[in-house]
Chain A
């Protein structure tokens, strides 16, 4: 299943934009604004973002400036809540009030990429004059009606769409790319530009519109109050940590022989811990074949789900409720004996390169025209269709499989030779890109700083770069490479040979 976040359609894709315009127009004609007691629309703002994303195989460069539109709403403390993807990689953020032509400059106060939420502040205090902050309500019930407010493509003014809550589940969040959190599905139209806008029920915010699934009709998703409140509580200390993870892989325990072997008597309760994520607190507290019976007061079904506010969903919801560093009380069965375990849960970032990268432009080093940069999901995307080629399979394995299969050999930051900037000093190299660096001058490369160290310490005639895989290596004449560096930087317009 692929998900698509919903900032306003990229103006460079007119066909998509047109399609959304037509769709939005139809919806607008069909659904009248809900008759609400208050006027939440006055608190809903339009957000215009001018952003530039880095180019991961030429990490000193940025793509062309992209203009996109999203929505947001005013919350307590003279702040605006929106989606993280609305303001990601922003160079400038402008906000507009309801029926007010003036643009106001805004800046990001906090951003949670894992939960796709952000808080903005506006420099001009007059922006908030006459605007009442919206309050948050509870998780809406399935089948209840909600109204989405926002500034989707297809017009300039605020748009309202009404729908029912279709279901409430744990869903993959497409903005981080490798995290799943609680989300609410609705048939209220959530179109490009709706992102960050409030979903309202009884004059209270019960969600933030954020994504849809291409090809799935009448299905939009919003971030529920539980996730929003978690985010707001997290930033109370002026620092965003993120959502914690349990660090366990829980699988259904429904085979009669396995249930009997583990001494599980109740037919409907208890799922099995099949694996534990290295580097998490679970390593010292839980074991494979422990049976999880209860997590944070929620009985765990044999399929690994719990009933959370009348909705059945994966037990991971129980581990997303506490803040990072807090604990979840577990009831388990180990060796047929019941036990209680306090499991500390923390933010897990060892897989950060496997998710989408934000905020910090890619690190890199250019040496003799060889461009070294961390292997990341964003770098793999630069390969396009070739990312599934046999030649680049090693990159995929290193990024997504190595850590779980062979953790002792997993590198904190695998470094890839991203490209080679043509120059006589490197013209004869056979391996010129898309190769993971194993060693340089005998130094094992586990992060970009190792590349710097390995090159600086060398006193031999050649720099020897070894690659992971079939023992391939390349050599550079050390003195010539060093001497050519400034010329290469100048030729290719690279402002600095490194970003560490």
Chain B
């Protein structure tokens, strides 16, 4: 009897949980939601010359003009991109038309007209309506699955590929394996694309943000995301507001640090109170009242209707008086950080010299320590993330490992050290490193590391360096001694 009862019960539960409206919603979206397959080069932190490839599948939403919209994740470094409609059948070679990792958005197309036949561009909600739950779409085994996800909140968070904060829709679901640009919909409109999931919370790039970026991109005036390059704290402490001599009701956020950019003085100063940004009053928690989404952190005002280069009026309280300043949004660029989140548009950089492997210090290297990388990656390398770039040292180069060879005997265990100087020249990029290696003195290459408790310097035989490098390349099967991208090319 047990065996008979179970399927009956299961069917009852299944039917009650799969609402007819959802089924209809899924059918309607079969013409607007497609599959994207991306084969991309992965990063091998221990052997950056290696180009292991991975293939993933994610969702994409049909847009006007023979384009599909998806997240930018995995598209930098893509070697093959293909599109599939209907969740099964033929794959169509595709091309990335446009991509912005900071916005985490990309437009992909295919020249094969057959792909576009009968497809229908999806509507993107201008404003995400208040709703207790949404539908989440994904292709599974040739069927478009539509599942209910619960609204959690709107938040302002860094992007998956960028430090620039922006509006994020958070939904709760117990569904696993999300974050592959699944479409989140409501009432026939797309309200967002998923970007990642942690625990039961799935982050969704909201359609209102996507619409604005795409409109600007299509109009040819997308200047990239901007961000506020200052840090602030809440103004909740009345004693602090009194110390800052604020008159009137308690309000505003306290600027604690302003990024010092060479040759460009910020209009803000530490201990300014930010009272208003772009016409929105700022409360003591650092929030403003968004007309569409309620209380949001003031950071959202850098991307809500603005892009990099735009000037935003700010009312501030300084030296006991209110003042209006015009704040120009700096573009979110990876070079703004001493340890960039990552760099795109080129294969991983490295230099192999006499078996010494040098790489730029980037967060992508630290992430090799897995999901818990913030605890597990070498502490000292990580701590550079707390420092700002300077004109003298805009970025860092590290000795990541040593490939044993007679020329480097005595150093084989040295690794994870940040280079200070080579042959007396300060090093902040691999270009500078290769240049400095051309200028040995007294017959030796002199490599000095950052001051501290670890190894401070090593010398290598300059005369034998090139032949040793060739020997190492051959012995370890390395295709080239270096992949160095000039700073100009990175821009």
Q: Which residues of B contact A288 (CB under 8 A)?
A: 456-457
Kindly state the separation between the CA atoms of A256 and B233 in the bound complex, as whole angstroms: 55
Q: Which residues of A contact B407 (CB under 8 A)?
A: 257
**When the two chains form their complex, are residues B459 and A257 in contact, meaning their CB atoms are under 8 A apart?**
yes
**Taking the complex as formed, is A428 at the interface, i.e. its CB lies under 8 A from any CB of chain B?**
yes
Per-residue CB contact flags for chain A residues 150-167 toward chain B (1 = under 8 Å, else 0) read: 000000000000000000
- Chain B CB count within 10 A is highest, among A254, A461, A470, for A470
Choose among B380, B386, B461 the residue that contacts A394 (Cβ–Cβ < 8 A): B386
**When the two chains form their complex, are residues B242 and A255 in contact, meaning their CB atoms are under 8 A apart?**
no
Kindly state the separation between the CA atoms of A477 and B450 in the bound complex, as whole angstroms: 43
Kindly state the separation between the CA atoms of A289 and B233 in the bound complex, as whole angstroms: 48
Residue of A nearest to B244 (CB): A475
Kindly state the separation between the CA atoms of A254 and B460 in the bound complex, as whole angstroms: 11
Residue of B nearest to A469 (CB): B386
* CB of A230, distance to nearest CB on chain B (Å): 26
**Taking the complex as formed, is A10 at the interface, i.e. its CB lies under 8 A from any CB of chain B?**
no
* CB of B378, distance to nearest CB on chain A (Å): 12
**Taking the complex as formed, is A253 at the interface, i.e. its CB lies under 8 A from any CB of chain B?**
yes
**When the two chains form their complex, are residues A390 and B374 in contact, meaning their CB atoms are under 8 A apart?**
yes
Choose among B234, B238, B257 the residue that contacts A470 (Cβ–Cβ < 8 A): B257
Per-residue CB contact flags for chain B residues 224-246 toward chain A (1 = under 8 Å, else 0) read: 00000001011011111011000
**When the two chains form their complex, are residues A388 and B239 in contact, meaning their CB atoms are under 8 A apart?**
no
Residue of B nearest to A397 (CB): B383
**When the two chains form their complex, are residues A396 and B256 in contact, meaning their CB atoms are under 8 A apart?**
no
Per-residue CB contact flags for chain B residues 376-409 toward chain A (1 = under 8 Å, else 0) read: 0001101100100000000000000000000111
**Taking the complex as formed, is A476 at the interface, i.e. its CB lies under 8 A from any CB of chain B?**
yes
Range class of the B interface residue count: 35 or more
* CB of A354, distance to nearest CB on chain B (Å): 11
**When the two chains form their complex, are residues A393 and B410 in contact, meaning their CB atoms are under 8 A apart?**
no
**When the two chains form their complex, are residues A261 and B442 in contact, meaning their CB atoms are under 8 A apart?**
yes
Choose among A253, A389, A469, A477 the residue that contacts B239 (Cβ–Cβ < 8 A): A477
**Taking the complex as formed, is A121 at the interface, i.e. its CB lies under 8 A from any CB of chain B?**
no
Per-residue CB contact flags for chain A residues 393-407 toward chain B (1 = under 8 Å, else 0) read: 110110001001110
**When the two chains form their complex, are residues A275 and B374 in contact, meaning their CB atoms are under 8 A apart?**
no
**When the two chains form their complex, are residues A274 and B453 in contact, meaning their CB atoms are under 8 A apart?**
no
Chain B positions 422-468 with a Cβ under 8 Å from a chain A Cβ: 442-444, 450-453, 455-462, 464
Q: Which residues of A contact B280 (CB under 8 A)?
A: none
**When the two chains form their complex, are residues B237 and A475 in contact, meaning their CB atoms are under 8 A apart?**
yes
Kindly state the separation between the CA atoms of A472 and B232 in the bound complex, as whole angstroms: 8
* CB of B240, distance to nearest CB on chain A (Å): 4
**When the two chains form their complex, are residues B410 and A255 in contact, meaning their CB atoms are under 8 A apart?**
yes
Kindly state the separation between the CA atoms of A101 and B443 in the bound complex, as whole angstroms: 75
**Taking the complex as formed, is B264 at the interface, i.e. its CB lies under 8 A from any CB of chain A?**
no
Chain B positions 199-250 with a Cβ under 8 Å from a chain A Cβ: 231, 233-234, 236-240, 242-243
**When the two chains form their complex, are residues A256 and B461 in contact, meaning their CB atoms are under 8 A apart?**
yes
User: With A255-B410, A255-B411 given, is the CB distance from A475 to B243 under 8 Å?
Assistant: yes
**Taking the complex as formed, is B375 at the interface, i.e. its CB lies under 8 A from any CB of chain A?**
yes
**Taking the complex as formed, is A94 at the interface, i.e. its CB lies under 8 A from any CB of chain B?**
no
Choose among A249, A388, A396, A472 the residue that contacts B453 (Cβ–Cβ < 8 A): A249
Residue of A nearest to B449 (CB): A274
Residue of A nearest to B270 (CB): A471
Q: Which residues of A contact B409 (CB under 8 A)?
A: 254-256
**Taking the complex as formed, is A117 at the interface, i.e. its CB lies under 8 A from any CB of chain B?**
no
Choose among B231, B242, B374, B460 the residue that contacts A257 (Cβ–Cβ < 8 A): B460
**When the two chains form their complex, are residues B443 and A405 in contact, meaning their CB atoms are under 8 A apart?**
no
Main secondary structure of the interface of B (DSSP, over half): mixed
Q: Which residues of B contact A474 (CB under 8 A)?
A: 237, 239-240
Residue of B nearest to A405 (CB): B452
**When the two chains form their complex, are residues B242 and A252 in contact, meaning their CB atoms are under 8 A apart?**
no
Residue of A nearest to B465 (CB): A257
Number of A-B contacts (CB under 8 A): 109
Choose among B242, B453, B456 the residue that contacts A462 (Cβ–Cβ < 8 A): B242
User: With A254-B409, A255-B408, A388-B375 given, is the CB distance from A275 to B453 under 8 Å?
Assistant: yes
**When the two chains form their complex, are residues B256 and A261 in contact, meaning their CB atoms are under 8 A apart?**
no
**Taking the complex as formed, is A77 at the interface, i.e. its CB lies under 8 A from any CB of chain B?**
no
**When the two chains form their complex, are residues B453 and A475 in contact, meaning their CB atoms are under 8 A apart?**
no
Kindly state the separation between the CA atoms of A42 and B383 in the bound complex, as whole angstroms: 56
**When the two chains form their complex, are residues B457 and A274 in contact, meaning their CB atoms are under 8 A apart?**
yes
User: With A393-B386, A404-B453, A462-B243 given, is the CB distance from A428 to B257 under 8 Å?
Assistant: no
Main secondary structure of the interface of A (DSSP, over half): mixed
Residue of B nearest to A404 (CB): B453
User: With A261-B443, A428-B239 given, is the CB distance from A396 to B457 under 8 Å?
Assistant: no
Residue of B nearest to A254 (CB): B410
Kindly state the separation between the CA atoms of A169 and B353 in the bound complex, as whole angstroms: 36
Q: Which residues of B contact A431 (CB under 8 A)?
A: 233
Per-residue CB contact flags for chain B residues 15-35 toward chain A (1 = under 8 Å, else 0) read: 000000000000000000000
Chain A positions 365-411 with a Cβ under 8 Å from a chain B Cβ: 388-390, 393-394, 396-397, 401, 404-406
Q: Which residues of A contact B410 (CB under 8 A)?
A: 252-255, 258
Kindly state the separation between the CA atoms of A406 and B442 in the bound complex, as whole angstroms: 30
User: With A275-B453, A393-B383, A397-B383 given, is the CB distance from A430 to B237 under 8 Å?
Assistant: yes
Q: Which residues of A contact B453 (CB under 8 A)?
A: 249, 275, 401, 404-405
**Taking the complex as formed, is A473 at the interface, i.e. its CB lies under 8 A from any CB of chain B?**
yes
**When the two chains form their complex, are residues B451 and A406 in contact, meaning their CB atoms are under 8 A apart?**
yes
**When the two chains form their complex, are residues B239 and A471 in contact, meaning their CB atoms are under 8 A apart?**
no
**When the two chains form their complex, are residues A258 and B458 in contact, meaning their CB atoms are under 8 A apart?**
yes
User: With A393-B382, A430-B237, A462-B242 given, is the CB distance from A255 to B374 under 8 Å?
Assistant: no
**When the two chains form their complex, are residues B242 and A461 in contact, meaning their CB atoms are under 8 A apart?**
yes
* CB of A467, distance to nearest CB on chain B (Å): 9
Kindly state the separation between the CA atoms of A474 and B256 in the bound complex, as whole angstroms: 11
Choose among A255, A430, A462 the residue that contacts B459 (Cβ–Cβ < 8 A): A255
Kindly state the separation between the CA atoms of A252 and B256 in the bound complex, as whole angstroms: 46
**When the two chains form their complex, are residues B239 and A275 in contact, meaning their CB atoms are under 8 A apart?**
no
Q: Which residues of B contact A388 (CB under 8 A)?
A: 375, 379
Kindly state the separation between the CA atoms of A135 and B296 in the bound complex, as whole angstroms: 76
User: With A254-B409, A254-B410, A256-B461 given, is the CB distance from A471 to B240 under 8 Å?
Assistant: no
**Taking the complex as formed, is A464 at the interface, i.e. its CB lies under 8 A from any CB of chain B?**
yes
**When the two chains form their complex, are residues A462 and B239 in contact, meaning their CB atoms are under 8 A apart?**
yes
**Taking the complex as formed, is A142 at the interface, i.e. its CB lies under 8 A from any CB of chain B?**
no
**Taking the complex as formed, is A170 at the interface, i.e. its CB lies under 8 A from any CB of chain B?**
no
- Chain B CB count within 10 A is highest, among A252, A255, A462, for A255
**When the two chains form their complex, are residues A255 and B257 in contact, meaning their CB atoms are under 8 A apart?**
no
Q: Which residues of A contact B457 (CB under 8 A)?
A: 274, 288-289
**When the two chains form their complex, are residues B243 and A461 in contact, meaning their CB atoms are under 8 A apart?**
yes
Kindly state the separation between the CA atoms of A251 and B459 in the bound complex, as whole angstroms: 13
Chain A positions 284-331 with a Cβ under 8 Å from a chain B Cβ: 288-289
**Taking the complex as formed, is A34 at the interface, i.e. its CB lies under 8 A from any CB of chain B?**
no
Q: Which residues of B contact A252 (CB under 8 A)?
A: 410
**Taking the complex as formed, is A429 at the interface, i.e. its CB lies under 8 A from any CB of chain B?**
yes
Q: Which residues of B contact A477 (CB under 8 A)?
A: 238-239, 242
Kindly state the separation between the CA atoms of A477 and B239 in the bound complex, as whole angstroms: 6
**When the two chains form their complex, are residues A430 and B239 in contact, meaning their CB atoms are under 8 A apart?**
no
* CB of B66, distance to nearest CB on chain A (Å): 44
Q: Which residues of A contact B233 (CB under 8 A)?
A: 430-431, 472
**When the two chains form their complex, are residues A257 and B239 in contact, meaning their CB atoms are under 8 A apart?**
no
* CB of A274, distance to nearest CB on chain B (Å): 5
> 28 A-B contacts, Cβ less than 8 Å apart?
A254-B410, A255-B411, A255-B458, A257-B444, A257-B461, A261-B459, A275-B456, A288-B456, A288-B457, A389-B375, A393-B386, A396-B383, A401-B380, A405-B452, A406-B451, A428-B238, A430-B236, A462-B240, A462-B243, A469-B386, A471-B231, A471-B256, A472-B233, A472-B256, A473-B240, A475-B240, A475-B243, A477-B238
Q: Knowing that A461-B242, A477-B239 are A-B contacts, what are 17 other residue pairs whose CB atoms are under 8 Å apart, sorted by A's residue number? A: A253-B410, A255-B458, A255-B459, A257-B462, A394-B386, A401-B453, A404-B451, A430-B233, A430-B234, A430-B236, A430-B237, A461-B243, A470-B257, A473-B240, A473-B271, A474-B239, A476-B239
Give A residues with C-beta under 8 Å from B. Answer: 249, 251-258, 261, 274-275, 288-289, 388-390, 393-394, 396-397, 401, 404-406, 428-431, 461-462, 464, 469-477
Among all A-B residue pairs, the 6 with the closest Cβ atoms: A254-B410, A257-B461, A471-B257, A255-B410, A475-B239, A471-B256
